[in-house]
Amino acid sequence: MKYLAVHHFTPLTLNDFTLILQNQKAAPPRPVLLTFDDGYANNAELAMPILRQYNFPATLFISLGAVGQPGYLSWPQIKEMHAAGWDIQPHTVTHPHLPLLDADKQREEIMHSRQQLEEQLGGKADVFAFPYGEYNEETLKILREAGFRYAFTTQEGRVDSSLPPLELPRIVVYGDDYFRTWKKKLLRPAS
Ligand SMILES: [Zn+2]
Protein backbone atom coordinates (compact mmCIF):
# COMPACT_ATOMS: atom_id res chain seq x y z
CA MET A 1 0.00 0.00 0.00
CA LYS A 2 2.92 2.26 0.75
CA TYR A 3 4.30 1.52 -2.72
CA LEU A 4 0.96 2.42 -4.30
CA ALA A 5 0.79 5.67 -2.34
CA VAL A 6 4.38 6.70 -3.02
CA HIS A 7 4.03 5.95 -6.74
CA HIS A 8 0.77 7.86 -7.06
CA PHE A 9 -1.57 5.00 -7.78
CA THR A 10 -5.22 5.81 -7.16
CA PRO A 11 -7.28 3.05 -5.55
CA LEU A 12 -10.89 3.40 -6.67
CA THR A 13 -14.22 2.80 -5.05
CA LEU A 14 -16.23 0.15 -6.88
CA ASN A 15 -18.64 2.87 -7.96
CA ASP A 16 -15.88 4.97 -9.52
CA PHE A 17 -14.46 1.86 -11.14
CA THR A 18 -17.79 1.19 -12.86
CA LEU A 19 -18.26 4.84 -13.90
CA ILE A 20 -14.76 4.90 -15.41
CA LEU A 21 -15.37 1.62 -17.27
CA GLN A 22 -18.60 3.05 -18.66
CA ASN A 23 -16.75 6.20 -19.76
CA GLN A 24 -18.90 8.32 -17.47
CA LYS A 25 -15.96 9.54 -15.47
CA ALA A 26 -12.34 10.32 -16.31
CA ALA A 27 -9.80 7.90 -14.88
CA PRO A 28 -7.39 9.34 -12.29
CA PRO A 29 -3.66 8.67 -12.67
CA ARG A 30 -2.74 4.98 -12.32
CA PRO A 31 -6.16 3.70 -11.24
CA VAL A 32 -6.39 0.41 -9.35
CA LEU A 33 -9.25 -1.47 -7.74
CA LEU A 34 -8.15 -3.31 -4.59
CA THR A 35 -10.17 -6.50 -4.22
CA PHE A 36 -10.20 -9.11 -1.47
CA ASP A 37 -11.93 -12.49 -1.76
CA ASP A 38 -13.60 -14.83 0.73
CA GLY A 39 -13.92 -12.71 3.89
CA TYR A 40 -11.08 -13.68 6.18
CA ALA A 41 -11.04 -12.01 9.59
CA ASN A 42 -7.61 -10.57 8.82
CA ASN A 43 -9.24 -8.29 6.24
CA ALA A 44 -10.76 -6.37 9.16
CA GLU A 45 -7.95 -6.93 11.64
CA LEU A 46 -4.96 -6.23 9.39
CA ALA A 47 -6.00 -4.82 6.02
CA MET A 48 -8.63 -2.32 7.14
CA PRO A 49 -6.33 -0.33 9.47
CA ILE A 50 -3.63 -0.16 6.78
CA LEU A 51 -6.04 0.97 4.09
CA ARG A 52 -7.52 3.50 6.49
CA GLN A 53 -4.04 4.91 7.08
CA TYR A 54 -3.72 5.60 3.33
CA ASN A 55 -7.38 6.49 2.88
CA PHE A 56 -7.66 3.75 0.22
CA PRO A 57 -11.05 2.25 -0.60
CA ALA A 58 -11.36 -1.48 -1.31
CA THR A 59 -13.84 -4.08 -2.48
CA LEU A 60 -14.51 -7.31 -0.62
CA PHE A 61 -16.10 -10.36 -2.26
CA ILE A 62 -17.49 -12.37 0.57
CA SER A 63 -18.49 -16.00 0.87
CA LEU A 64 -21.61 -15.69 3.02
CA GLY A 65 -21.61 -19.19 4.50
CA ALA A 66 -18.30 -18.49 6.21
CA VAL A 67 -19.48 -15.39 8.07
CA GLY A 68 -18.99 -15.83 11.79
CA GLN A 69 -16.90 -19.01 11.39
CA PRO A 70 -13.48 -19.16 13.07
CA GLY A 71 -10.98 -17.16 11.03
CA TYR A 72 -13.68 -15.38 9.05
CA LEU A 73 -15.37 -12.02 9.39
CA SER A 74 -18.40 -11.57 11.60
CA TRP A 75 -21.37 -9.41 10.66
CA PRO A 76 -20.30 -6.63 13.05
CA GLN A 77 -16.88 -6.59 11.35
CA ILE A 78 -18.44 -6.57 7.89
CA LYS A 79 -20.68 -3.69 8.91
CA GLU A 80 -17.70 -1.82 10.29
CA MET A 81 -15.83 -2.28 7.00
CA HIS A 82 -18.88 -1.21 5.04
CA ALA A 83 -19.16 1.92 7.20
CA ALA A 84 -15.45 2.57 6.59
CA GLY A 85 -16.09 2.70 2.84
CA TRP A 86 -15.45 -0.87 1.73
CA ASP A 87 -17.71 -2.16 -1.01
CA ILE A 88 -18.97 -5.61 -0.02
CA GLN A 89 -20.10 -7.88 -2.85
CA PRO A 90 -21.12 -11.53 -3.19
CA HIS A 91 -18.82 -14.53 -3.68
CA THR A 92 -21.49 -17.29 -3.27
CA VAL A 93 -22.61 -18.93 -0.02
CA THR A 94 -20.45 -22.08 0.23
CA HIS A 95 -17.57 -21.22 -2.14
CA PRO A 96 -18.24 -24.16 -4.50
CA HIS A 97 -16.68 -25.02 -7.83
CA LEU A 98 -19.61 -23.52 -9.76
CA PRO A 99 -19.11 -25.50 -13.01
CA LEU A 100 -19.68 -28.71 -11.03
CA LEU A 101 -23.18 -27.58 -9.99
CA ASP A 102 -26.36 -27.67 -12.05
CA ALA A 103 -28.01 -24.40 -13.00
CA ASP A 104 -30.49 -24.35 -10.10
CA LYS A 105 -27.81 -24.91 -7.52
CA GLN A 106 -25.57 -22.29 -9.11
CA ARG A 107 -28.43 -19.80 -9.09
CA GLU A 108 -29.09 -20.53 -5.42
CA GLU A 109 -25.44 -19.96 -4.49
CA ILE A 110 -25.30 -16.68 -6.39
CA MET A 111 -28.70 -15.26 -5.48
CA HIS A 112 -28.67 -16.23 -1.80
CA SER A 113 -25.31 -14.57 -1.29
CA ARG A 114 -26.55 -11.44 -3.05
CA GLN A 115 -29.81 -11.34 -1.08
CA GLN A 116 -28.10 -11.75 2.29
CA LEU A 117 -25.76 -8.86 1.55
CA GLU A 118 -28.51 -6.60 0.28
CA GLU A 119 -30.62 -7.36 3.35
CA GLN A 120 -27.79 -6.79 5.79
CA LEU A 121 -26.11 -3.78 4.21
CA GLY A 122 -28.70 -2.22 1.91
CA GLY A 123 -27.71 -1.05 -1.57
CA LYS A 124 -27.03 -3.25 -4.56
CA ALA A 125 -24.78 -6.29 -4.49
CA ASP A 126 -24.61 -6.82 -8.24
CA VAL A 127 -20.89 -7.34 -8.79
CA PHE A 128 -19.60 -10.87 -8.40
CA ALA A 129 -16.34 -12.79 -8.10
CA PHE A 130 -16.19 -16.46 -9.11
CA PRO A 131 -14.90 -18.86 -6.44
CA TYR A 132 -11.57 -20.25 -7.72
CA GLY A 133 -12.19 -18.08 -10.78
CA GLU A 134 -14.33 -20.92 -12.19
CA TYR A 135 -17.51 -20.52 -14.24
CA ASN A 136 -19.31 -21.88 -17.26
CA GLU A 137 -21.96 -20.72 -19.73
CA GLU A 138 -24.72 -21.38 -17.16
CA THR A 139 -23.00 -19.15 -14.63
CA LEU A 140 -22.76 -16.29 -17.10
CA LYS A 141 -26.41 -16.74 -18.10
CA ILE A 142 -27.54 -16.63 -14.45
CA LEU A 143 -25.52 -13.49 -13.76
CA ARG A 144 -26.81 -11.81 -16.92
CA GLU A 145 -30.45 -12.66 -16.13
CA ALA A 146 -30.06 -11.45 -12.55
CA GLY A 147 -28.69 -8.12 -13.74
CA PHE A 148 -25.18 -8.45 -12.41
CA ARG A 149 -23.08 -5.65 -13.87
CA TYR A 150 -19.59 -7.09 -13.49
CA ALA A 151 -17.89 -10.30 -12.46
CA PHE A 152 -14.25 -10.97 -11.71
CA THR A 153 -12.28 -14.06 -12.65
CA THR A 154 -8.79 -14.93 -11.45
CA GLN A 155 -7.39 -14.68 -14.97
CA GLU A 156 -4.29 -12.52 -14.98
CA GLY A 157 -4.72 -9.20 -16.69
CA ARG A 158 -5.83 -5.63 -16.65
CA VAL A 159 -9.38 -4.43 -17.03
CA ASP A 160 -10.54 -2.17 -19.81
CA SER A 161 -13.94 -1.31 -21.21
CA SER A 162 -13.51 -3.51 -24.30
CA LEU A 163 -13.60 -6.69 -22.17
CA PRO A 164 -16.75 -8.73 -21.45
CA PRO A 165 -18.05 -7.24 -18.16
CA LEU A 166 -18.84 -10.63 -16.62
CA GLU A 167 -15.35 -12.01 -17.27
CA LEU A 168 -12.98 -9.35 -15.96
CA PRO A 169 -9.38 -10.34 -15.26
CA ARG A 170 -7.42 -9.33 -12.18
CA ILE A 171 -3.84 -9.16 -11.04
CA VAL A 172 -3.79 -11.99 -8.54
CA VAL A 173 -1.73 -11.32 -5.42
CA TYR A 174 -0.82 -14.17 -3.10
CA GLY A 175 0.10 -13.73 0.54
CA ASP A 176 3.49 -15.32 -0.01
CA ASP A 177 4.37 -13.38 -3.19
CA TYR A 178 7.71 -11.62 -2.99
CA PHE A 179 7.44 -7.86 -3.16
CA ARG A 180 9.35 -7.89 -6.47
CA THR A 181 6.90 -10.44 -7.91
CA TRP A 182 3.98 -8.27 -6.89
CA LYS A 183 5.63 -5.18 -8.37
CA LYS A 184 6.32 -6.96 -11.62
CA LYS A 185 2.67 -8.03 -11.87
CA LEU A 186 1.48 -4.53 -11.07
CA LEU A 187 3.71 -2.82 -13.60
CA ARG A 188 3.38 -5.39 -16.40
CA PRO A 189 2.26 -3.48 -19.48
CA ALA A 190 -1.29 -4.02 -20.69
CA SER A 191 -1.40 -6.65 -23.41
ZN1 LIG B 1 -12.71 -17.28 -3.08
Query: What residue ranges define each of the domains in the chain, with the CATH number in brackets?
Result: 2-186 (3.20.20.370)
* 59 CA → ligand 1 middle, Å: 13
- Structure confidence at residue 188 (pLDDT): 81
* 151 CA → ligand 1 middle, Å: 13
pLDDT in tens, 58-84: 999 999 999 999 999 999 999 999 999
Q: Does pLDDT of 191 surpass 70?
A: no
Q: Does pLDDT of 45 surpass 80?
A: yes
* 35 CA → ligand 1 middle, Å: 11
* 91 CA → ligand 1 middle, Å: 7
- Structure confidence at residue 189 (pLDDT): 72
If you average pLDDT over residues 49-55, what whole number do you get? 97
Residue whose C-alpha is closest to residue 155's, from 176, 186, 133 = 133
* 57 CA → ligand 1 middle, Å: 20
- Structure confidence at residue 129 (pLDDT): 98
Q: Does pLDDT of 23 surpass 70?
A: yes
Q: Does pLDDT of 190 surpass 70?
A: no
* 24 CA → ligand 1 middle, Å: 30
* 38 CA → ligand 1 middle, Å: 5
Query: Taking all residues of the chain, what is their mean pLDDT, rounded to a whole number?
Result: 96
